[in-house]
Amino acid sequence: MSLETLELCTSDSPDASVIWLHGLGADGHDFEALVPELRLPSKLAIRFIFPHAPFRPITVNNGYVMRGWYDIVSLQIDRQEDIDGVAESSALLSQLIETEINRGIAGNRIILAGFSQGGAIVLNTGLHYPQPLAGILALSTYVPMLDQLATTLAEANKATPIFMAHGLMDDVININIASTSRTQMQALGLILQWHDYPMGHSVCADEISHIRDWLIQRLS
């Protein structure tokens, strides 16, 4: 299996890639409009890649089929986890990384970004990827299989910068779940920049501004 994707390039000759995963029930178009809102400097030559998640039945939605990176089997998302689904989507994301490397983009010029479920997949993939990446952008999300991270974390990405942001009023993924992931990652010595905002399960203007600054820092 391979993923269908949308692409948006800021230059005819990109030398960096941002692979951005959407949340449950959305698709690759979800964050496409964010690129111009970032107002990135023209000197940055970036290929933004927005994959569509596969369709799958979601247990907590009475088995309704929608785009999702893994199943949600319980409202206690950090306790009853779809380990196989997470592994499957992480493998698909790894394929996209390899595709970018084969297109001439160095691994340390590739950023993984994701929102909600997509954020969980980019954290799981990036923290276990065997080559250094440019960064991980994780929005309104958490680390899947957190209790295993200390033994499964890849040496290659222990120094990879992580941007993690969450809404204080998030009623989909409680901020306490995200905070637990943050604390565990920091305890393992990972480089993590944390932001929280007075919002729900969404993205706000201040967050976009902070993402812009972080992307410029990582890719300039």
CB neighbourhood size of 168 (10 A) = 10
Catalytic residue among 22, 128, 166, 201: 201
Catalytic residue among 30, 71, 82, 170: 170
Q: How confident is the model at residue 74 (pLDDT cuts 50, 70, 90)?
A: confident
- pLDDT of residue 108 exceeding 90, the answer is yes
Mean pLDDT of 117-129: 98
Residue 170 designated active-site: yes
pLDDT tens for residues 170-183? 999 999 999 999 99
Range of 188's domain? 5-219
Strand 55-58, strand 64-67: pairing = antiparallel
- pLDDT of residue 78 exceeding 80, the answer is no
Q: How confident is the model at residue 77 (pLDDT cuts 50, 70, 90)?
A: confident
Q: Residue 125, class by beta-carbon neighbours within 10 Å (0-12 exposed, 13-18 middle, 19+ buried)?
A: buried
Q: How confident is the model at residue 216 (pLDDT cuts 50, 70, 90)?
A: very high
Q: Which of 198, 191, 197 is nearest to 210 (CA)?
A: 197
Catalytic residue among 116, 128, 140, 181: 116
- At 123 the pLDDT is 98
Classify the phi-psi angles of 62: left when phi > 0, otherwise alpha if psi is within -120 to 50, otherwise beta. left
- At 76 the pLDDT is 79
- pLDDT of residue 79 exceeding 80, the answer is no
CATH value at residue 23: 3.40.50.1820
Number of structural domains the chain divides into: 1
